[in-house]
Structure 1
Amino acid sequence: MAELLYNPEVLSKAKAELEQIIAIVKETVRLHPPVPLLLPSKAGADVEIQGFIVPKGAQVLVNIWAIGRDASIWEKPNSFKPERFMGSEIDVKGRNFELIPFGAGRRMCPGLPLALRILHLMLGSLIHTFGWKVEGGLKPKDIYFEEKFGLTLQKAKPLRAIPIMV
């Protein structure tokens, strides 16, 4: 919701197209993944990745927060641009390693199917049922996006948005 209130043109497009809601969810979990690091894994054998040797038995952590902001993968990686997923085959189901907010393989989040159903339904319901404004008369451009890192990611200052009946 913070990204949509900050980008009202994206919010107005989302009210018109279902595909836009799907793209918004993908872009949101790219920029703001539920957790910054995937569960640790152990390397089963010595492996070379881009010139670096990961020795057998080494504990490996995947930083999905950094992958979502990698300029070698994403054009303008810190910008909220859901249109980058319009017509794209990239999904969040662990098949595309540039977007793995729920992990991949056997260590994938078991809540992924529920999350995908709920996120699309909830976001669509919220943006189609209500108009929105930021509490305290703040302008959307004054929304604070700093994140508080921990086991999960959350906004350092919670978003206070007011629904308006339309």
Structure 2
Amino acid sequence: MFMESPFKLHLSIYDIFSGGTDTTSTTLQWAITELLRNPRAMKELQQEAREIGQGRSLIPEEDLDKMPYLKAVIKEAFRLHIPAPLLVPRESTKDVKLLGYDIASGTQVVVNAWAIARDPSVWEEPEEFRPERFLNNPIDYKGFHFELIPFGAGRRGCPGINFATVINELALANLVYKFDFALSGEKAFDMTESYGITVHRKYPILVTATSYK
């Protein structure tokens, strides 16, 4: 029987925690930011959450499928603010000709998922935060629609997609269910992005969360 070395096991656990925490917190940060910038969308999501919550202490996981607007908000947040905008580098396994370009076997390929998700030939008003574009729309981020691939696609897609989907939806649903949010001492949003493997806000915003009664 073969066993992983302690070093490899440590790296695997580190990858799981780093991959599943930084990207999730980044997604939630951008989602709250966009909702604050778009009060109508915030109100719509809060109304949906409070109708589903019905005064209970929390919205449970099994109720997430009853919240289409929540899912639309998450999709739109992913579209505008993909946590890892260049995904994970790939390598071509054979010579291929693509859009007139010759790509040799062994070439490292980087997919700009950020640019794809803002392509004006694919998306109407691509710079606008409009969750409604995903209502009654089959486009999803599970890797079958290449217009939106925050988790990549194919057999090399992110293995944590199901975990991330539930965590993001559950966290955002309960945040807007339990709290009202407002900017503290700021009049305008600076949406400048930082640069790195994951894309955070360059400048943090100060938000006041008030318990909803």
Q: Do structure 1's residue 150 and structure 2's residue 196 form an aligned pair? A: yes
Q: TM-score, normalised by structure 1?
A: 0.93
Match of 2:144 in 1: 95
Distance 1:81 1:51 in 2: 34
Amino acid at match of 2:114: W
Larger fraction in strand? 1
Larger gyration radius, structure 1 or structure 2: 2
Shift of 1:127: 0.8
Cα deviation digits, residues 108-148 of structure 1 (max 9, x gap) = 11221111001111111111111111122x23xx1111100
Partner-residue secondary structure (3-state), 1:147: coil
Distance 2:77 2:193 in 1: 13
Larger fraction in helix? 2
Partner-residue secondary structure (3-state), 1:154: coil
Conservation of the 8 A alpha-carbon contact between 1:36 and 1:149: no
Match of 2:169 in 1: 120
Q: How many residues in Structure 1 have an aligned counterpart in Structure 2?
A: 163
Conservation of the 8 A alpha-carbon contact between 1:48 and 1:54: yes
Match of 1:40 in 2: 89
Q: Which runs of 4+ in 1 moved over 4 A?
A: none
Distance 2:205 2:191 in 1: 9
Q: TM-score, normalised by structure 2?
A: 0.73
From 3, 12, 16, the equivalent of 2:47 is 16
RMSD value over aligned CA atoms?
1.2
Shift of 1:58: 1.2
**Structure 1 stretches of 5 or more lacking a match?**
none
Match of 1:5 in 2: 36
Q: Do structure 1's residue 74 and structure 2's residue 123 form an aligned pair? A: yes
From 97, 100, 108, the equivalent of 1:59 is 108
Amino acid at match of 2:82: P
Distance 2:140 2:199 in 1: 21
Amino acid at match of 1:153: V
Shift of 1:93: 0.9
Cα deviation digits, residues 51-79 of structure 1 (max 9, x gap) = 22222221100011111111111111111
Distance 1:88 1:112 in 2: 20
Distance 1:53 1:75 in 2: 31
**Structure 2 stretches of 5 or more lacking a match?**
1-31, 49-66
Distance 1:44 1:77 in 2: 33
- Quote the sequence identity (%): 42
Match of 2:61 in 1: none
